[in-house]
Amino acid sequence: MKPLQEVRSGIIVIICIFIFFKVKRNKRPTNLSTISAEVDDNDAITEESPQFDLDIIRAATGNFSEANKLGQGGFGPVFRGKLPNGTEIAVKRLSQNSGQGEYEFKNEARLLSRLQHRNLVKLLGYCLEGIERLLVYEFVPNASLEKFIFDPLKRVLLDWDTRYKIITGIARGLLYLHEDSRLRIIHRDLKASNILLDMDMNAKVSDFGTARLFEIDQTQADTSQIMGTYGYMAPEYVLRGHYSLKSDVFSFGVLVLEIVSGRRNLEPRSGQDMELLIGHVWKNWREGNISGIVDPAVTSGYTPNILRCIHIGLLCVQQNEATRPSMSSVVLMLNSQSVTLSVPTEPAFLMNMSPINNSDISSGYDSTSNATKADPSGNKADAFSINEASITDPYPR
Ligand SMILES: *[C@@H]1O[C@H](CO)[C@@H](O)[C@H](O)[C@H]1NC(C)=O
Ligand SMILES: *[C@@H]1O[C@H](CO)[C@@H](O)[C@H](O)[C@H]1NC(C)=O
Ligand SMILES: *[C@@H]1O[C@H](CO)[C@@H](O)[C@H](O)[C@H]1NC(C)=O
Ligand SMILES: *[C@@H]1O[C@H](CO)[C@@H](O)[C@H](O)[C@H]1NC(C)=O
Ligand SMILES: *[C@@H]1O[C@H](CO)[C@@H](O)[C@H](O)[C@H]1NC(C)=O
């Protein structure tokens, strides 16, 4: 009898300990408000974002296995995974000892948890356990626009209708960020690799912490310092650190022209002869040479629709930010053929404005040409990023 009693009380003690720890564990920060407080005291992140259990994420990603690694983002690796209910996810894992990354992580979590739009990548939740900092997103199967539009083989898969759908999708996502969500958000790093494509090739704008999601071929370790990408940045932003909704509009215009032409604005491979795509488009547009602009892979002929997109693209990259349209006018212009478009003025030719030899930006060029040499694919748009640590307040209202 006595030994059995001992066993019983032993079991009870164990159960008590178990319950104690279980309760304690559930009491761990169940939302991100604690860490977000450091970023912005008034913003609680969590209203809409559920917390995921670390064990579930471990199981979903094969314990963060190398095989499930999608790429390296700005503040850490990104893994693919599958939840028990079958939902596919992408998990961004903050690297330990990543100082700037911590800030970006919070920024991304804080912003994205309050946003919901079909043209924005969706944050499903997050996980904070021990030292782990994880963001869980819907998985977007067709990688990024960059993987299609600049790829000699895959670009052929993007017919004009698909490209047009992508352009309108980005425009709607950006309009939502700028005007239609509860917040006013300037993305500041809009570029082809930040436009993800879902299974139906709908565009989803991603990367809200100036950190990067699906950048599979990103090799530089210090990208957490970088907040913009050369070739997409508006002149006033590069030269004066001034940014506004209109600097996003500029980046959007660059994207539109890239989508139409299948060329990068800033072609890493072209070496000395670095003609910007927007300069090329401007020249050919004025000469009425549309075949000099449109991607030869687009075989549907030069429809009014294509011409209109080139026109809108040129309006967005105008030198003077005041003359660039807002995203709501862009969406209107895309939706309605009857809206007349103004005549674009000369775009910003950044090449002329920033002498390559004597600015901070020049170091970006130097390291890039090395990086480009090291990678024959030349797939290094990020190398053209510049460090803009001097720009402080990241999200003005
Ligand atoms: C979660 O956030 C809310 C505010 O949004 C706060 O009132 C609550 O105390 C937080 N919960 C925990 C466990 O930190
Ligand atoms: C997961 O990986 C970590 C280190 O990579 C290891 O310590 C841990 O035991 C693994 N967990 C499981 C459940 O395999
Ligand atoms: C699966 O679980 C996730 C996270 O809890 C949820 O967002 C999603 O809607 C679920 N999917 C299905 C098909 O139930
Ligand atoms: C996009 O992804 C879906 C699902 O994985 C696939 O069926 C489709 O062929 C892909 N589209 C392109 C253009 O690769
Ligand atoms: C149009 O542009 C293309 C590419 O720049 C060029 O090869 C072609 O000669 C131009 N056509 C005319 C009529 O200028």
Distance from residue 201's CA to the centre of ligand 4 (Å): 8
Q: Look-up: residue for tokens 């917390």?
A: 51
Nearest CA to ligand 5 atom 8: 292
Which of 87-91, 354-358, 369-373, 383-387: highest mean pLDDT? 87-91
Residue 291 CA to ligand 5 center (angstroms) comes to: 7
Q: Which tops the pLDDT comparison, 196 or 267?
A: 196
Q: What is the pLDDT of residue 237?
A: 78
Q: For 38-42, 200-204, 390-394, which range has the lowest pLDDT when averaged over its residues?
A: 390-394
Let me know: does 389 contact 225? Beta carbons within 8 Å: yes
Task: Give the up-direction half-sphere exposure of residue 352: CA atoms within 13 A in the CB hemisphere.
Answer: 7
For ligand 2, whether the C-beta of 63 sits within 6 Å is yes
Dihedral of alpha carbons 389, 392, 395, 397, sign: negative
Residue 126 pLDDT > 60, yes or no?
yes
Q: Is the whole-model pTM more than 0.85?
A: no
Range among 141-145, 165-169, 192-196 rated most confident:
165-169
Least confidently predicted of 141-150, 308-317, 372-381:
372-381
Confidence band for 164, pLDDT divided at 50, 70 and 90: very high
Q: Would you say 236 and 250 are in contact if contact means Cβ atoms under 8 Å apart?
A: no
Q: Domain spanning 145-362 has what CATH number?
A: 1.10.510.10
Q: In the chain, which segments carry CATH 1.10.510.10?
A: 145-362
Q: Residue 137 Cα, ligand 5 centroid: separation in angstroms?
A: 44
Amino acid identity at 365: Y
User: What stretch(es) of the chain map to CATH 3.30.200.20?
Assistant: 33-138
Mean per-residue pLDDT, 187-211:
85
Superfamily of domain 33-138: Phosphorylase Kinase; domain 1 (3.30.200.20)
Active site residues: 189
Least Cα distance to 255 among 168, 176, 167, 178 occurs for 167
Q: Whose CA is nearest to atom 4 of ligand 3?
A: 124
Q: Which of 10-24, 269-283, 348-362 has the highest mean pLDDT?
A: 269-283
Which residues have CB under 6 Å of ligand 5? 284, 287, 289, 291-292
Atom of ligand 4 at shortest distance to CA of 158? 13
- Give the closest residue (by CA) to ligand 1 atom 4: 44
What's the gap between Cα 62 and its chain centre? 26
Average pLDDT estimate for 235-255: 86
Residues 74 and 238: their CA atoms lie apart, in Å, by 20
pLDDT at 76: 78
Whether the per-residue pLDDT at 59 is higher than 70: the answer is yes
Q: Residue 219: what pLDDT?
A: 26
